[in-house]
Every structure is written in structure tokens, then in C-alpha cells.
């Protein structure tokens, strides 16, 4: 990473400060990071940092005409992205993965900001996924992983895994060929509190799985708790984790204080401040066990702002800039490149991108809505300022 950076002593004042204008959730909630996060003097306006072109190891492109609108944003920031398979119906076979990849490639913008973009495909793991299907998918060269959704845990996960042991034959085949297992690490048991589902999953599913299959490459995706951070740090080298920008910038107050803010509702749900702090420390530490995965998940405005709103935060429009804000807040911009551009590719066994991207400390205001097919999506920070911009 090149460019100028100037850190500073701790400078922390105030508590989590909410400023809600007359449009409330439509305008968005203006949030300053809590005092414990404000441990660095901000870098000067005009500061530029150049990174190896990042990859996103967790992205929801959806399907149909909306793909083109999502790709318009994703291709501005990333050279590659893992395409999540929870479509309707889900991407459970190699043939479906090929068809979905073809649709994504056909939906790419005519002018790509960084010259190329590669969707990295995944299979949706079920109780019935066979070792033969796993090997067939891996042989394509572009199916990089299988995704484990506990049945009922999140959007379009009803066809997911009901018993992890039913997937063991497929997982053993994945370990043999070096294929990555991506895991939504939450139990879906109705009696387990939604804020406790990740720690319970670690104890009941992850720990026995890692002991059973020590050679299986695992990504605990979008971790959201201190317990997950502590486990990944203690786990063997085959276990790593992705972290979203919204989980290191916001805690559950953003969702619940001053009225329910549906565009902060995501799964895993935002947690207490102590968990956000642990995630921020892990992401910015320079430890290669943690890397970028946005979990950018678009839904129409109407499906978010409803009596039963969908889970997902849309960050494809500004994910890299939001990560930069978080890293700057603790004086760790020097570690941004590894997190965004190196560690994920290394874990997946992919070459690091050769291109670069440059960010500048320059404010811009996020639009209230973006086109999403014939509908619209409301992005994170709608109507608010982001302090970093992509300039090349």
C-alpha cells in the first residue's frame, strides 16, 4: 500500500450519537463511532492510498435483470467476488452453477473500471449433496466453494442443511480436493435467542467438524461476535473468517434506538458494542485469518420497509470506502490492503490481483436510492456522507 498516512494519540470523546433528521429511516441514521473506536486522529483530506485490487469473498448478486445493477457497483471495487448460491431455486448442481455464471457474465457492464471481473461460483450444500457433484463442480475451475446454510437460518435457506453429519461424505471429498467450505455460522433452532445463535453454532457444529476434518478449508462467513473472533484465533490454520463493513461500523443500537431502522437489519444480526469492538480489532489487526466479505445483500425498498422486512444490508455501492473509514478510525490504514486484497485470495488458493485501486480522503453523499431492476434499493448510509472516495 502506498500513500501518506499519519496516525496519532487516542482522542475519544462522547457516546454513540444519533442524529435523526425529519425523514428518519428514509434519510438514514447519522452514526458516529462509539468513543472506544475513536483512537486515531483522522488522516488529512486529500490523503490517497493505493491498494492491490480487492476481492469480495461474499456477495449476493441475486438473479434476473437486477444483476446488472448490482454488478455496476461491485465491478467498481472488486476484481473477483464469490457469488452466493441462495437463489430461487438454489444453485445445487454444477449445471446450475454454469448457468448462473453465464448469466452474471452476460450482465457485466460494457466498460469495466478495472479491465476485468470474475464471478467465483459456489454450490449450495444440502443433505443430499454427493461427493461426485462436489468433484464435478471443482473440476470446472470456477466453482470455488460450497456454501453451508443451516436450514431456515437466513434468506432462501429453507433447502439448507438439517444435519451436518449428512454432509460429511461431500465435505470429505472437498477436503481431499482442497475446495473451500463457506459457512453461515448460526443455528436456526427456534428456542435459541437470535443474539446467541453464532456462539451456539461454534460449540455444536464448528468445533466437532474441525476436529473431524482437520484438512477441510473453512470460512466462517460474516462473523458477528467476540466468541467467533476468539474461536478463529484459537482454531487451526484451515479455519478463517470474513467480516463485513457493517459489522465493524455498527452495533445493534443502529437498528433499534430511536425507532426500528430496517436497513440495518441483517443476519447475523448486529450485536452489542463489545462484539463490534472485537470484530474491528480482528479486521484491522493484520492477522491473515480475517479478510473481506461484504455480504452485500440487496432487497427492494418495499421488501425492507414492511411488516416483515427482509434481512440484508446493501453495501456494494461503497464497501471499500466504508472499510477504509473503519480502519482509519483506529489508525490501521496500513493493514487495509492485506485484509481487502491479500488474505482472502491466499486462503482460497487464488493468485492476488495484479491491478490496483486508489482511494482518496474526499467526502461524498450517498444517494437515497439506487436502481434495482424495475424497483429500487436503499443503500447503507443513504443520504449521508462517506469520507473516502474511489478515484482510480
**Which amino acids are annotated catalytic?**
295
Nearest to 359 by CA among 377, 347, 380, 341: 341
Helix/strand/coil (H, E, C) string of 54-108? CEEEEECCCCCCHHHHHHHHHCCCCCEEEECCCCCCCCCCHHHHHHHHHHHHHCC
Nearest to 49 by CA among 354, 321, 245: 321
Q: At what angle do helices 131-139 and 94-106 cross, to 10 degrees?
A: 30
SS3 184: strand
Query: Judging by DSSP bridges, how do beta strands 80-83 and 118-124 pair with one another?
Result: parallel
* HSE toward the beta carbon, residue 158, CA cutoff 13 A: 4
The residues with which 48 forms a beta bridge, in sequence order, are 360
Angle at the Cα of 352 (from 346 to 357), degrees rounded to 5?
Answer: 130
Cell of 286: 493484520
Amino acid at each position: 500500500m502506498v500513500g501518506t498516512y499519519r496516525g496519532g494519540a487516542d482522542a475519544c470523546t462522547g457516546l454513540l450519537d444519533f442524529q435523526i433528521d425529519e425523514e428518519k429511516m428514509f434519510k438514514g441514521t447519522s452514526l458516529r463511532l462509539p468513543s472506544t473506536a475513536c483512537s486515531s486522529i483522522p488522516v488529512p483530506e486529500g490523503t490517497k492510498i493505493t491498494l492491490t485490487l480487492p476481492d469480495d469473498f461474499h456477495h449476493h448478486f441475486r438473479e434476473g435483470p437486477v444483476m446488472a445493477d448490482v454488478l455496476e457497483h461491485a465491478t467498481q471495487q472488486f476484481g473477483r467476488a464469490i457469488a452466493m448460491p441462495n437463489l430461487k431455486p438454489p444453485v445445487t448442481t454444477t449445471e446450475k452453477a454454469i448457468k448462473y455464471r453465464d448469466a452474471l457474465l452476460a450482465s457485466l457492464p460494457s466498460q469495466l473500471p478495472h479491465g476485468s471481473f470474475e464471478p467465483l461460483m459456489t454450490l449450495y450444500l444440502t443433505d443430499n449433496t454427493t461427493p461426485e457433484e462436489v468433484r464435478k463442480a471443482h473440476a470446472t475451475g470456477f466453482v470455488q466453494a460450497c456454501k453451508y446454510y443451516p436450514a431456515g437460518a437466513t434468506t432462501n435457506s429453507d433447502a439448507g442443511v438439517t444435519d451436518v453429519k449428512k454432509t460429511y461424505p461431500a465435505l470429505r471429498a472437498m477436503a481431499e480436493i482442497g475446495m473451500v467450505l463457506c459457512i453461515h455460522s448460526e443455528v436456526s433452532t427456534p428456542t435459541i435467542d437470535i443474539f446467541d445463535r453464532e456462539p451456539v453454532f461454534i460449540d455444536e457444529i464448528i468445533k466437532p467438524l474441525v476436529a473431524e476434518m482437520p484438512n477441510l478449508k473453512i470460512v466462517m462467513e460474516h462473523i458477528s461476535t467476540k466468541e467467533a473472533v476468539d474461536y478463529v484465533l484459537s482454531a487451526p490454520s484451515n479455519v478463517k473468517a470474513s467480516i463485513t463493513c457493517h459489522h465493524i461500523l455498527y452495533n445493534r443500537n443502529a437498528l433499534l434506538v430511536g425507532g426500528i431502522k430496517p436497513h440495518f437489519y441483517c443476519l447475523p444480526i448486529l450485536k452489542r458494542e463489545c462484539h463490534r469492538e472485537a470484530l474491528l480489532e480482528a479486521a484491522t489487526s493484520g492477522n491473515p485469518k480475517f479478510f473481506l466479505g461484504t455480504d452485500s445483500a440487496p432487497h427492494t425498498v418495499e421488501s425492507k420497509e414492511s411488516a416483515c422486512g427482509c434481512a440484508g444490508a446493501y453495501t456494494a455501492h461503497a464497501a471499500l470506502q466504508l472499510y477504509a473509514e473503519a480502519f482509519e478510525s483506529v489508525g490501521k490504514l496500513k493493514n487495509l490492503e492485506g485484509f481487502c486484497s491479500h488474505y482472502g485470495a491466499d486462503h482460497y488458493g487464488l493468485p492476488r490481483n495484479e491491478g490496483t485501486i486508489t482511494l482518496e480522503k474526499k467526502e461524498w453523499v450517498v444517494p437515497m436510492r439506487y436502481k434495482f431492476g424495475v424497483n429500487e434499493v436503499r443503500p447503507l448510509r443513504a443520504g449521508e456522507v462517506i469520507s473516502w472516495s474511489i478515484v482510480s
